[in-house]
Amino acid sequence: TFHHVSEKHLQRYATEFDFRWNHRAKMGYTDSQRADAVLRGIAGKRLTYRHS
């Protein structure tokens, strides 16, 4: 549940919902398979901190 949705991060929210919809239990995915998909998606990426 989001209490506030900012336009700046709208694409990120949409991407999260897309992932959750496409990897839901009805589609045959288990929790561990979803976790594996998340880890594959972040492999090799850095989390950076930018001053705004």
> How confident is the prediction along the chain (52 residues), in pLDDT tens digits per residue?
678 889 998 998 999 999 999 999 999 999 999 999 999 999 998 888 877 6
Residue 9: Cβ within 10 Å count:
13
Which residue bears the tokens 């561990």? 32
Q: What SS3 state is found at 46?
A: coil
pLDDT of residue 52: 61
pLDDT of residue 48: 85
pLDDT of residue 50: 77
